[in-house]
Amino acid sequence: MPFRGRIWLDVSGVSPGSDAALFAARLGAALQRQDGVTLTLCRRDPALRVIDWSALDAPSSGPDLHKARIAWWRGLADRIPRDAQMAIGRFVRLQRNALAARRPVPRAVEPVVQHATPPDDAAIAAGDVLMMLAPSGNASRFAANGVRLCFVAVDAIALVRPDWLESEPAAEAAVWLRTTLPHVTRTIAFAPEIARALTGAGCAAWLIDAAACLGASGSDETAFSDCVLAAAPMGEAGSTRHLLLAWRRLLDEMPQGTVPRLVLAGAVGALSGDVLTQLRNSDRLEGCVEAVFYPSPDRMRALLDGCRFCIAAEAHDAWGRATLDSLAAGVPCLSAFPANGAVAVDPTNAAHLADQVRAWLADTPPRPVAQARGWDDVARDVLGPLAA
């Protein structure tokens, strides 16, 4: 029997414009089209708050240079205990939200560390499903009120490599794992590695296939031609350092002028400072590397249309957007994400990666013949475990 009921799509911890935000927009639209399903987009900050779909829109493009300026201050802040960091963060968000709403700033008349559970603003009720996309904060109070908790592992890097996170999201994930995960009744993963991580944390997951974002039509945006596209966050999560080592190896070993340009396309991820410094100090490997920060879906489609093939360094990715987009566009793809039509590669092994790229540069790689799944198919798969 198919699932019927109310779903609250919780995007707490999801950054606007990120892959997770794009996933929320596409999955949310598909869930709304399913019979008997009522869906509401919300956040917990700290009470449940209904938000508009525009909150998922992309921010202005470009790297976050402010992060570099406050790195030293974050080093000092890391010495503060995690519970105190979380309490200070809640207080700062409370002040910011008050200023944004142009209402009087509430005074801190109570201790910053709150032990009482705040009341819920939205009308969530027992039997409803709170569907979380990121391991952020504490949602155990909803389970205590009869709400079913479901975790769709879209932004799951905290479960696989928490050492790649900044201090605040790492603290949020630690709280979520300790307080919320024991109350989650349904977990859904799109990659075997994420499913194994969830199982290791004591919560078995349903493994389902995701859908590609790209449509059939092309894009009018201009892009690089005759290049190799590396679609992943710029940082350790995207194996950017290994990609640059592989490209340096190719430049040193292959005849001059035979190595195409490498285009890095993605967000500025955690632990990205060393990578961006390498790019700057090497003059982008003497002009052989370009960076496209925060590409829009249209921009990504234009990049795929102009590249020879795509490298999707998604060993720790939650749903393989770059791989699936590449296959949907008919572009050959080297990927660590398991998908029919992609060629498996280890993006953390620079020598192996260089050998595979060299082989594809010498011989035309096979064009994938794969049909992209629709988002309605994914929505039905997501609803399946909820009805079980």
Sequence-separated (6 or more) residues with CB below 8 Å from residue 111: none
- Give the E-state strand segments of 142-253 in sequence order: 148-152, 184-189, 206-207, 227-231
- pLDDT tens digits for range 325-363: 999 889 999 998 888 889 999 988 999 999 999 999 999
Using CA atoms, how far residue 292 sits from 219, 270, 334, in Å, is: 16, 17, 19
pLDDT of residue 98: 65
Short-list 322, 318, 319, 320, CA closest to 297: 322
pLDDT at position 107: 47
Can you read off the two tokens belonging to residue 354? 């260089």
Residue pair 381/205 in contact (Cβ under 8 Å)? The answer is no
Helices 240-253 and 350-362, packing angle to 10 deg: 50
Instruction: Tell me what pLDDT residue 370 has.
Output: 66
- On whether the CB atoms of residues 372 and 214 are closer than 8 A, the answer is yes
Contact present, 223 and 305 (Cβ < 8 Å): yes
What's the pLDDT score for residue 61? 47
Q: Is the dihedral of CA 313, 334, 373, 222 positive or negative?
A: positive
Alpha carbon 332 to its chain centroid, in Å, reads 22
- Chain CA centroid to CA 108, Å: 34
CA distance 228 to 263: 6
Q: Strand, helix or coil at 229?
A: strand
Alpha-carbon distance of 175 to 136, in angstroms, equals 7
Residue 387 burial class via C-beta count within 10 angstroms: exposed 0-12, middle 13-18, buried 19 and up:
exposed
Specify the pTM: 0.80
Contacts of residue 274, Cβ cutoff 8 Å, sequence gap at least 6: 241
**Which pLDDT score, from 0 to 100, does residue 77 have?**
54
Report d(CA 323, CA 152) in Å as an integer: 19
Residue 30: per-residue pLDDT:
95
Looking at residue 67, its pLDDT comes to 43
List, for the chain, all residue ranges whose pLDDT scores fall below the cut of 50. 60-76, 104-119, 216
